[in-house]
Structure 1
Amino acid sequence: MAQHFLLSAAARTLSLKSIFSEGEEAAYRRFCQLRWPETDGEPICPACGCVDVYDLTTRRRFKCAACHRQFSVTSGTIFASRKLAFVDLLGAICLFVNAAKGLSAVQMSRDLDVQYKTAFVLMHKLREAMKAETRDARLDGEVEVDGAAFGGHVRPANLKEERVDRRRRVNRSGKRRVVVVLRQRGGRTVTRIFLREAQGVEFARERIAPDTVVSADEVAHWDLLETDFDMQRINHSEGYSVGGAHTNLAESFFSRLRRMIGGQHLKVEGRYLDAYAAHAAWLEDHREESNGHLADCLIGGSYALIWPSISARFSVRV
C-alpha cells in the first residue's frame, strides 16, 4: 500500500526545531522574501513602488530614496505594530498550520509564552488571511452545497416532566447559527454564516457560476436552485451516494469543523463562527500540501490582504 502524503517526509518541510535553530535573522529574511518575491526579498517602497531604498539595519527599517518614507517588512500589513520577534511569529504560524483540527489560543499562549489575548488576536488575524483567499472566488464545474447548525446548545431540564422538545424553534437558543458551505470538487471551499439554512440559497446563486452541476440533499429549500443550475439530489435516508449524487465533500468539511470546535475550542461565539469556518475550509483546501508551503502561503496571503490599499492609506507603523 502506498504511503499517505501526510505521513511522508515531503509533508514535513518546516519544524519548530529548524525555526529556532536558524534564529531570528533567517526568520526575518523569510518574511522579506515572502513580501517581495519579485525582487527576492529586496524591499520595495509600499507608498510609491520605488526599488531604490536605504537599509536602516540597526532598526530593521527601510527608507525610500524617492518619497523619503520609512517602512518595514510588516508596515501596512496585519503584522504591523507587532511586538513578537520574527522567529516567534514564524513559530506561531508553524504551530497554527500544523494543527489539522485547529489550535486553541490557550495552547498557543503556553507554547509561545505570551498572553492569551496576544495569541487570540494573532490567530484571528491569520484566519482573516485564510478567508481572503476565497473572498472573490466563484465556483464552477461540480459544486456541493449543504448546511449545518452550530452552537446554541439548550441543556435539558433535570426533571423529565419539565423537559421540552428542543427541536422546535420556540425552544431553541438564539445563539444557534448555521454554516452553509459551497465546495467545488477538485477546487475551493466557500462558507458563510446564517440564522437559517434557507438563507443560503441566495449565497449559492451569488458564488456559483452558471452551467454548474450542483449537488444537494433532500431539504426543500434547495429546490429553489433548480431554476438556475443542473441539480443532483441525494436523499440521505436512502444512501450517502446514489447514482453519482452525493455531498460527501461538504460533509467532510463539517466533520473537520465539528472536531475543531468540539475538540479544541469547546465553544465558539456566533460572531466568530465565520472565522473558524473559513479556517476549516482553508485546511480542507490545502490538506495535501507540505506544512512549509502552508506557512509560506499563509504569510504571503497576509501581505496580499492589505497590499492593494497601502498606497491609499500608507502607515509607517511597524
Structure 2
Amino acid sequence: MSQAAPGKSHREGISLIELTEMFPDEASATAWFEQMVWPKGKRHCPRCGCTETRKASATSGLPYYCSGCKRAFSVRIGTALERSKVPLRKWVFAIYLEMTSLKGVSSMKLHRDLKVTQKTAWFMLHRIREAWSTESASLFNGPVEVDEMYVGGRRKNMSNAKRRELKDTGRGAVGKVAVVGAKDRATKQVKAKVVESTDRATLHGFVADAAAPGATVYTDEAVAYEGMPFPHETVKHSVSEYVRDMAHTNGIESLWSMFKRAYNGTYHHLSEKHLNRYIAEYAGKHNLRNFDTINQMAAVAAGMVGKRLMYRDLIA
C-alpha cells in the first residue's frame, strides 16, 4: 500500500462515477480483492498456507485448487467474506460507501443503494467492521490524551423514576455505556473501547495498554486517573477549563464528536452488544483519514483477512 497522503486536503478521493469505471464488472472486483488478499500475486491456500496452487476444474465451483490439502478455494475463503453470496463488486461499493461517508452508512441506505435486503446490508456492514476488530498492540509514545464518553440512555426515553434518580444523585452516566479512548498527538492515531466502568483499575489499565512508559498523559480531573505511573497533567472541565498550556483533551474529544454525529444522524440507536464494533470502526476510520480513498479501501479489505463472522453469532 502506498504511503498516507500529507493531509486530508491533499489526499486523492474517488467519485462514484470513477469507482464505477474502476470496477465495471465482477471480474475487476475479484482481481482487486485477490490483490489485497494475496499481495504481489503470491497466491496461497487460506486453509493450509500451501503456495502450490493452480486453477481448479470447472466442476469444483471454486477458481483455485490447493495441492497441499487437496481442496478448492476462492479469495473469499479465510476472510470476513467467506460464505457470502453477495457479488464482490457490491462488496467493493459497500466498502467505498462506508469509508467515504463521514457519519457512516445505515443498513437501510445500503439496502437501497446495492439492491440487497436490509438484513443482508446490516450483516455486510458488520462484516466490514471486522476489519477493525483487532486493535494494534503498539504503544503511543505521546503526549497521549485520554478521555471517556457515555453512549445511550437518553433522559427523554427514561421513566420518571429514573429521571428522579439522576437528579438526586447527579450521576448523569447512570444508564449509559462507558467508552474510553486515547489519542497520540505525535502520530494522530487513536484507540478506543467500551468498558464496563470508569473506575480507577479500569482506566489505569486502559492507559497502561495504550501509552508507552514515560509518555506524558493528559486527562480531565476525574479522580480515577490519579496515581497513574505516567507524567500526568489535567484540565478542570468542571470549572470550564479546557486548555492549559499543553494540557487538553480536545483531540480525543473530536473523535467523540464525530461518533455522536453518526449516532444521532445515521444510526439513532445502537445495541450495547454491538457498540464496541462501531467504536472500533470510528477509531479505525480516524486512523485512515489521511489516506487516499483507494488506500483506505485497501486497508479495510486487507483487514478482513483472517476474520470470520457468522450471522448466528452476531444475533445471539
Distance in 2 of aligned mates of 1:97 and 1:175 = 31
Query: Which amino acid counterpart does residue 146 of structure 2 have in structure 1?
Result: V
Distance in 1 of aligned mates of 2:169 and 2:280 = 27
In the alignment, which of 214, 217, 220 is matched to residue 217 of structure 1? Answer: 220
Distance in 2 of aligned mates of 1:157 and 1:112 = 37
Query: Which amino acid counterpart does residue 104 of structure 1 have in structure 2?
Result: S
Deviation larger for 289-298 or 16-25:
16-25
CA contact (8 A) 2:132 2:280 kept: yes
Does residue 142 of structure 1 match 2:158?
A: no
Equivalent position of 1:293 in the other structure: 295
TM-score normalised to the size of structure 1? Answer: 0.83
Q: What SS does the aligned partner of 1:210 have?
A: coil
Distance in 2 of aligned mates of 1:163 and 1:64 = 62
| Structure 1 residues 16 and 116, CA gap change in structure 2 (3 angstroms) | farther
TM-score normalised to the size of structure 2? Answer: 0.84
Equivalent position of 2:32 in the other structure: 30
> 1:130-183: CA deviations, max 9, x gaps?
232x24232222111110111012327899x99626345598797410111111
In the alignment, which of 301, 304, 309 is matched to residue 302 of structure 1? Answer: 304
TM superposition shift of 1:217: 0.7
CA contact (8 A) 2:144 2:182 kept: yes
Distance in 1 of aligned mates of 2:233 and 2:262 = 29
Deviation larger for 119-128 or 150-159:
150-159
Q: Which runs of 5+ in 1 are unaligned?
A: 307-318
| Structure 1 residues 110 and 193, CA gap change in structure 2 (3 angstroms) | same
CA contact (8 A) 2:128 2:300 kept: yes
Distance in 1 of aligned mates of 2:278 and 2:290 = 20
TM superposition shift of 1:105: 1.1
Does residue 125 of structure 1 match 2:131?
A: no
Q: Percent identity?
A: 25
Does residue 98 of structure 1 match 2:100?
A: yes
Greater than 6 Å deviation, 4+ residue runs: 156-159, 170-174
Alignment of 1:77-116 (within 5 A): 77-116=79-118
Q: What SS does the aligned partner of 1:75 have?
A: coil
Equivalent position of 2:51 in the other structure: 51
Q: How many pairs does the alignment contain? A: 296
Query: Which amino acid counterpart does residue 152 of structure 2 have in structure 1?
Result: G
Distance in 2 of aligned mates of 1:156 and 1:271 = 19
Equivalent position of 2:313 in the other structure: none
Q: Which runs of 5+ in 2 are unaligned?
A: 1-5, 309-316
Query: Which amino acid counterpart does residue 142 of structure 2 have in structure 1?
Result: G
